[in-house]
Amino acid sequence: MAPRPARTLVLVLVVAALAGCGPSRSTGSDEMALTVTRDYGRTDFIALRHERVPPPGGLARIFQRYANTRDTQSLFVNGILAAQPAPQLEVHGGDRIWLDQHDAGVAAQVPAVVGSFPEPFLHGSDGKRLPVRVECDNPRAGACAAVADKLVKLGVVAGRSIVSRSAADETVRILVGPWKRLRGRDLASDSIDGGPRSSGVYARFDATGDRLAVLNPSGRVVRTLGAGAGLIAATREKDRQPVWFVTGTDDAGVASAARALDESVLGDHFALAISDDLPVAVPQP
């Protein structure tokens, strides 16, 4: 299948509003969503929204039809890299299972992705919902309220606080603010600054935080974004739950990223940059 065309955020969100309903996100207690893609989500093979939860080993039989052993395979459950191979994976109702096949990149592994939103906020991990907290550089900023409001509309109860180096291992956190004001304030932000080998995120800000470099899987800079650029990305430290970032080069970029926090925009993206309200896939081809 051909790569999906880029879509403006404005068009996507207006169409959803005119339809009178939000994006499909519900799966029954005995259902899951199943996606198989290639090249970091660039090409879809299958996208099944309401699949019966398979018996043990069932996922492996499904994936065998699409597997290419020459490629690296990343298997995510609710946006979190699976700790077990498909034959051993226990699937729960509501889970979003995503297998992506791609050439090996500079990141040994990608521990978390944003393309399964609203997971892991909605159904959590291992069949258990997790506490969620929105941490903002400025709790009074519009972007902070926008992120929290979107979670509330999804039925997610989320606490709010300022950014801190949290020790809450079982809390899924979203850090909101310009990168220059998030940098150095959390272990996960240190990981992002370390590049894709450290975080699995193929984008990094310059020393000032005013420019955002978007990388290809080899780690080469393909595109550089300036004022008004946003980024939605996730990473995960060992033995902790994921940390998401709704950030950017400035306040305008953070606001753009907050608007893009939507299933129809984030779907099948490992991470997503925003430039002039247009989505920029991360990594770039």
- pLDDT, mean of residues 67-73: 70
The pair of structure tokens assigned to 233 is 């990305």
> Half-sphere exposure of 111 toward its Cβ, with a 13 Å CA cutoff?
18
The pair of structure tokens assigned to 7 is 């879509």
Over the stretch 218-231, which tens digit does the pLDDT of each residue have?
A: 999 999 999 999 99
Q: Output the average pLDDT for the chain.
A: 87
Distance CA 181, CA 209 (A): 9
282: Cβ–Cβ under 8 A, 6 or more apart, which residues? 201, 202, 203, 214, 215, 231, 233, 269, 270, 271, 272, 273
pLDDT at 76 over 60: yes
Distance CA 53, CA 122 (A): 17
Q: How far is CA 203 from CA 20, 181, 197, 207, in A?
A: 35, 17, 11, 13
Distance CA 250, CA 135 (A): 17
134: Cβ–Cβ under 8 A, 6 or more apart, which residues? 144, 147, 148, 151, 158, 159, 160, 161, 173, 174, 176
Q: Provide the percentage of residues in the chain whose pLDDT is more than 90.
A: 65
Distance CA 21, CA 18 (A): 8
Query: Nearest Cα to 95, choosing from 120, 66, 73?
Result: 120
158 versus 63: the higher-pLDDT residue is 158
State the residue for tokens 């907050």.
258
Over the stretch 130-166, which tens digit does the pLDDT of each residue have?
A: 999 999 999 999 999 999 999 999 999 999 999 987 6
Ranking 56-70, 156-170, 200-214 by mean pLDDT, the lowest is 56-70
Model's pTM, two decimal places?
0.87
